[in-house]
């Protein structure tokens, strides 16, 4: 990871070390503020297309990094080509013509008189192009070599008519993320202009030398120039895997920006007062005495951590992680009772009405015998019913409120909100949970927050993503939980699997059948949920079959899931909408179609919908052969492992942080360049650098946050 600034980067022929040395002086013409329209050949249409890529300023072009590189620095003899290789070749057209077969195409045979040749195939071509590509014309082409029916071929290669003025590239060729209407030559040309501006006025380097020097990382300008125009001797492997010091330099800066943003948020939260929720323990003791089970050691430890925070004068900001079935709800109930004992109200927010109702049933069963009223508020409540519920909250008659996002709507008021509990927080945006917290802000400060998730997050990720939160983990399951038996079966045995469903339901049990797509997709060969429901209803006519997926309206979907929970359906066909929030102890069998399309953590979450009763449960992974090596490894792990935390670590190693988190987890940080797994060695120095910037260079910290997070850091100002 070490690289002396300027040393490795001089080979690209452009020395920017002098301009970069004045790191803390603002440039004369800031690339951060320079509109991209100031570049040549950028009119309204091109600017609109660039905006789709998040490019509005010249600096945005510089941070729009290549996803890969091509080596066009040397010609490869045609006779040396191999399938799967990307290569620059040169030859003379020996034959050319339009072929009328299953698909019309222009075929061009390129080669030398005495040596082998290669077929260039074009499915989209103009008459002018067909006329220009005639025998005797010499071409220089770049493309991927494939094995075709008549030998080696390139499909739609890039090509130029050869002349003495056509030079071989002196550097590796970058390939950028693109969008419709923006081709690679356009992006490379615009980036070239941005690099010219970079040499005249490099972006401000907000990281001081005392932070960068111990890491041996280059300056920002040097790193950007190298990544956009790497020299011939650059390691393609290091660039593609983003291990090169230039990539590390940008990943480090992004990590520092995220850490500074989260630390800024944490400091702002800790600077505010909060009510001391000590309680007398009376209600908690009664609940523990009434429970049919004793707390596990892990649960008791976490309860103690939360109780200590609640008794403090600063707002608790604690993330509670627990595997599926680890017993997070009883921990939340004890925290809620501590707040109620202190004369305060509690709000528990869940992402779906089904999960909110489930929490309502559990909490009502535990709390109402203690004289604690639990109220449910959801989007379906309208008119007079809603007004009455809001009045009970505002008056303080209802001590505990359970609901969905309806809890943070403007007309909801609490008399004295002391604790906010949020379940599956990644389903909510950061803005939403902070908005709910503000509903309890009063003379004594902000309410405490307990955030729960059943989605295990490896500690290496949690350090990065939740620097504004303290972490508690329930790392052991309660005794008596029956492990789920997981098997993998090819979809050629589909009828046998359906017979297994019939047998399970015939014994009075219920089953899930999970599909990963709604509509048919030949390319992915996934069974659509709607077709699966029709097929299963016909094949298993004696069973009551329900269907839920994301395109069914919320109220209808919740009604079907509620009917399944009530035992009115035998088989529930669903997409991954059931991943979280369905607790049906009678369900003992789950079929997951095309499990090879899902990550390990998601498979584990789905599997956790069964095994919640006292009967041995099974999960059948109905895969489509042949499986890739990675898919085989993934299914082997899920069969052999029942620990969600172990699965999360192995999932992270297999797929990387970006895929594990997924875009649906809107409450989690999204990275542009950094990868918390790959860049773990950079995390401790990034955390120290963030603290140093906030203490010694607050203006630089704020500018760095704006550069990398843009408007996404606004929640830190709440």
% of the chain surpassing 90 pLDDT: 52
Q: How far apart are CA 254 and CA 235, in angstroms?
A: 23
Q: Assess whether 325 and 443 both reside in one domain.
A: yes
* Predicted confidence (pLDDT) per residue in 290-343, tens digit: 998 899 999 999 999 999 999 999 999 898 988 777 789 999 999 999 999 999
Overall domain count for the chain: 4
| Element (DSSP H or E) covering residue 149 | none
| 184 and 225, same domain (yes or no) | yes
Question: Measured between alpha carbons, how far is 152 from 132 in angstroms, rounded to an integer?
Answer: 22
Rounded to the nearest angstrom, the gap between the alpha carbon of residue 253 and the centroid of all alpha carbons in its chain is 20
Name the residue with higher pLDDT: 590 or 201.
Answer: 590
pLDDT exceeds 80 at position 176: yes
HSE (side-chain half, CA atoms, 13 Å) at 43: 2
Distance between CA atoms of 149 and 145, rounded to whole angstroms? 13
- Which residues, at least 6 apart from 619, have a Cβ–Cβ distance to it below 8 Å? 484, 485, 486, 487, 589, 590, 592, 607, 610
pLDDT at 486: 95
The answer to whether the CB of 608 falls within 8 A of the CB of 617 is no
pLDDT score at 442: 67
DSSP class per residue in 440-454: T-BTTBPPEEEEEES
Residues 6+ apart with CB under 8 A from 10: none
DSSP 435-490: HHHHTT-BTTBPPEEEEEESS---HHHHHHHTTTSEEEEE-SPPTTPPPPEEEEEE
Share of the chain above pLDDT 70, in %: 84
- The alpha-carbon radius of gyration of the chain (Å, integer) is 30
Q: What is the mean pLDDT of residues 136-146?
A: 93
CA distance 255 to 688: 11
Position of tokens 């409450």? 667
Looking at the fold, whether 16 and 104 belong to one and the same domain comes out as: no
- HSE toward the beta carbon, residue 103, CA cutoff 13 A: 7
Query: Cα separation of 614 and 236, whole Å?
Result: 55
- CB of 441 within 8 A of CB of 470? no
User: In this predicted structure, what is the pLDDT of residue 244?
Assistant: 93
- Per DSSP, the three-state class of 6 is coil
Separation CA 426–CA 453 (nearest Å) = 8
Quick check: 484 and 512 in contact, CB under 8 A? no
Neighbours of 638 (CB within 10 A): 25
Looking at the structure, do residues 305 and 417 belong to the same domain, yes or no?
A: yes
DSSP 296: P
Asked whether residue 707 carries a pLDDT value surpassing 70, the answer given is: yes
pLDDT at 523: 36
How far apart CA 478 and CA 611 sit, in angstroms, is: 13
Q: How confident is the model over 183-192, as a mean pLDDT?
A: 93
Mean pLDDT of 175-193: 93
Same domain, 312 and 436: yes
Within-domain flag for 676: no
66's tokens: 């290549």
**pLDDT band at residue 430, thresholds of 50, 70 and 90?**
low
- Rounded Cα distance, 101 and 284, in Å: 78
Longest CA pairwise span in the chain (Å): 95
The verdict on 401 and 289 lying in the same domain is: yes
Angle, helices 353-367 vs 328-341, to 10°: value is 60
- pLDDT tier at 11 (50, 70, 90 boundaries)? very low
Domain residues for the domain of 551 are 485-641
> Could you tell me if 401 and 544 lie in one domain?
no
| pLDDT at residue 630 in the model | 84
The dihedral over CA atoms of 541, 543, 549, 551, expressed in degrees to the nearest 10, equals: 50
Same domain, 226 and 374: no
Average pLDDT over residues 86-100: 92
Residue 702 above 90 pLDDT? Answer: yes
Higher-confidence residue of 119 and 112: namely 119
Q: Which residue has the higher pLDDT, 402 or 354?
A: 402
Residues in the chain: 718
Please report which helix (H) or strand (E) contains residue 148, including its range: strand 146-148
pLDDT at 9 over 70: no
The pLDDT value recorded for residue 335 is 98
DSSP structural state of residue 351: S
Q: Which residue has the tokens 């983003």?
A: 242
pLDDT of 618 higher than 90? yes
For residue 48, pLDDT beyond 60: yes
Structure-token pair, residue 153? 């071929």
- Of 419, 441, 474, which residue constitutes the final position of a domain? 474
Give 27's pLDDT tier (boundaries 50, 70, 90).
Answer: very low
Q: Is residue 353 a part of any domain in this protein? A: yes
H-helix or E-strand spanning residue 96: strand 86-99
Question: Residue 291: helix, strand or coil by DSSP?
Answer: coil
Do both 146 and 287 map to the same domain? no
Q: How confident is the model at residue 4 (pLDDT cuts 50, 70, 90)?
A: very low
The answer to whether the Cα torsion of 266, 269, 271, 277 is positive or negative is negative
Distance CA 372, CA 295 (A): 21
CA distance 52 to 520: 29
* Mean pLDDT computed over 502-530: 73
Mean pLDDT, the chain, integer: 84
Is the residue at 90 inside a domain?
yes
pLDDT value for 549: 80
Q: Find the mean pLDDT for residues 267-293.
A: 91
371: left (phi over 0), alpha (psi -120 to 50) or beta: left
Report the distance separating Cα 689 and Cα 263, nearest Å.
11
Q: What is the mean pLDDT of residues 10-19?
A: 39
d(CA 407, CA 391): 13
Per-residue pLDDT band for 714 (boundaries 50, 70, 90) equals very low
Kindly state the helix (H) or strand (E) to which residue 91 belongs, with its residue range: strand 86-99
Is residue 119 within 8 Å of residue 148, measured between CB atoms?
Answer: yes
Q: How many alpha carbons fall within 13 Å on the CB side of residue 458?
A: 19
Q: Which of 398-407, 428-437, 643-652 has the highest mean pLDDT?
A: 398-407
d(CA 457, CA 469): 13
Query: The domain that contains 389 carries what CATH number?
Result: 3.40.50.300
Are 17 and 232 contacting, i.e. CB atoms less than 8 angstroms apart? no
| Predicted pLDDT of residue 669 | 56
75-85 in b/e form (b: 16+ CB < 10 A) is ebebeebeeee
How far apart are alpha carbons 437 and 456 in whole angstroms? Answer: 24
Q: Are residue 622 and residue 553 in the same domain, yes or no? A: yes
Q: Are residues 536 and 581 in the same domain?
A: yes
Q: pLDDT tens-digit profile of 620-656?
A: 999 988 888 888 988 999 998 877 777 877 776 676 5
CB 407 within 8 A of CB 401: yes
Tokens in use for 261? Answer: 């943003």
Among 617, 641, 665, give the residue marking a domain's end: 641
Answer whether residue 211 is part of any domain. yes
pLDDT score at 662 = 41
Do 88 and 42 share a structural domain? no
Query: Model confidence at 466, in pLDDT bands (50, 70, 90)?
Result: confident
Q: What are phi and psi of 201, to 5 degrees?
A: -150, 80
For residues 558-578, give the mean pLDDT. 87
**CA distances from residue 567 to 26, 260, 563, 578, 622 in whole angstroms, order as listed:** 67, 50, 6, 16, 25
Q: How confident is the model at residue 241 (pLDDT cuts 50, 70, 90)?
A: confident
Asked whether residue 251 is assigned to any structural domain, the reply reads no
Look at residue 661 and tell me if it is in a domain.
Answer: no
What CATH number corresponds to the domain at position 108? 2.40.50.140
Q: Is residue 369 part of a domain?
A: yes
> What separation in angstroms does the CA of 52 have from each of 55, 178, 206, 611?
7, 9, 27, 45
Question: What CA–CA distances, in Å, run from 665 to 120, 124, 461?
Answer: 44, 40, 14
Residue finishing a domain among 440, 474, 508: 474
In a domain, 657, yes or no: no
Closest CA to 448 of 318, 301, 282: 318
């Amino acid at each position: 990871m070490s690289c002396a600034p300027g040393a490795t980067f001089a080979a690209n022929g452009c020395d920017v070390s002098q301009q970069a040395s004045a790191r803390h002086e603002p440039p004369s013409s800031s690339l951060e503020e320079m509109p991209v329209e100031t570049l040549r050949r950028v009119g309204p249409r091109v600017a609109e297309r660039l905006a789709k890529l998040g490019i509005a300023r010249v600096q945005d072009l510089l941070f729009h990094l290549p996803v890969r590189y091509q080596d066009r620095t040397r010609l490869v003899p045609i006779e040396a080509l191999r399938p799967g290789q990307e290569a620059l070749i040169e030859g003379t057209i020996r034959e050319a013509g339009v072929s009328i077969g299953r698909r019309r195409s222009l075929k061009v045979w390129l080669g030398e008189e005495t040596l082998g040749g290669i077929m260039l195939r074009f499915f989209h071509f103009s008459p002018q192009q067909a006329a220009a590509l005639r025998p005797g014309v010499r071409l220089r082409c770049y493309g991927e070599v494939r094995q075709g029916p008549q030998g080696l071929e390139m499909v739609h290669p890039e090509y130029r008519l050869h002349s003495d003025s056509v030079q071989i590239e002196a550097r590796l060729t970058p390939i950028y993320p693109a969008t419709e209407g923006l081709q690679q030559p356009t992006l490379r040309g615009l980036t070239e202009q941005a690099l010219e501006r970079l040499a005249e006025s490099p972006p401000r380097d907000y990281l001081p030398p005392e932070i960068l020097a111990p890491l041996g990382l280059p300056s920002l300008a040097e790193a950007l120039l190298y990544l956009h125009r790497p020299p011939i001797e650059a390691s393609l492997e290091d660039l593609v895997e983003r291990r090169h010091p230039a990539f590390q330099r940008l990943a480090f800066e992004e990590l520092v920006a995220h850490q500074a943003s989260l630390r800024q948020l944490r400091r702002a939260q800790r600077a505010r007062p909060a009510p001391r929720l000590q309680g007398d323990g009376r209600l908690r003791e009664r609940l523990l005495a009434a429970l049919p089970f004793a707390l596990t050691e892990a649960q008791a430890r976490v309860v103690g951590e939360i109780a200590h925070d609640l008794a403090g004068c600063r707002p608790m900001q604690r993330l509670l992680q627990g595997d599926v079935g680890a017993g997070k709800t009883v921990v939340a109930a004890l925290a809620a009772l501590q707040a109620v004992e202190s004369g305060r109200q509690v709000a528990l927010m869940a992402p779906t009405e089904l999960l909110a109702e489930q929490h309502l049933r559990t909490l009502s069963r535990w709390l109402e015998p203690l004289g604690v009223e639990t109220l449910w508020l959801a989007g379906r409540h309208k008119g007079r019913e809603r007004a009455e519920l809001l009045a009970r909250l505002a008056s303080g008659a209802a001590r505990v409120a359970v609901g969905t996002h309806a809890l943070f709507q403007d007309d909801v008021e609490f008399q004295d909100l002391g604790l906010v509990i949020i379940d599956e927080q990644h389903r909510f945006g950061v803005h939403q949970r902070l908005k709910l917290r503000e509903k309890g802000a009063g003379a004594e400060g902000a309410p405490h927050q307990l955030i729960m998730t059943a989605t295990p997050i490896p500690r290496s990720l949690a350090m990065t993503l939740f620097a504004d939160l303290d972490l508690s983990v329930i790392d052991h399951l309660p005794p008596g939980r029956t492990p789920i038996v997981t098997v993998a079966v090819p979809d050629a045995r589909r009828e046998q699997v359906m017979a297994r469903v019939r047998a399970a339901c015939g014994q009075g049990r219920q089953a899930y059948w999970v599909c990963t797509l709604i509509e048919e997709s030949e390319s992915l060969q996934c069974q659509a949920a709607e077709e699966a429901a029709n097929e299963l209803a016909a094949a298993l006519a004696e069973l009551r079959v329900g269907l839920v997926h994301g395109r069914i309206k919320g109220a209808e979907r919740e009604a079907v899931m509620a009917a399944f929970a009530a035992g009115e359906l035998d088989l529930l066909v669903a997409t991954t909408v059931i991943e979280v929030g369905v607790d049906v102890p009678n369900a003992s069998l789950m079929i997951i179609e095309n499990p090879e399309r899902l990550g390990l953590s998601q498979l584990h979450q789905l599997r956790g919908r069964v095994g919640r009763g006292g009967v041995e449960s099974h999960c059948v992974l109905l895969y489509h052969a042949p499986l890739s090596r990675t898919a085989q490894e993934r299914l082997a792990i899920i069969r052999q492992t029942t620990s969600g935390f172990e699965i999360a670590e192995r999932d992270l190693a297999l797929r990387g942080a970006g895929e594990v988190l997924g875009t649906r987890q809107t409450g989690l940080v999204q990275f542009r360049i950094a990868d918390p797994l790959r860049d773990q060695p950079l995390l401790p120095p990034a955390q120290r650098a963030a603290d140093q910037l906030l203490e010694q260079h607050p203006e630089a910290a704020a500018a760095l946050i704006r550069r990398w997070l843009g408007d996404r850091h606004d929640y830190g100002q709440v």
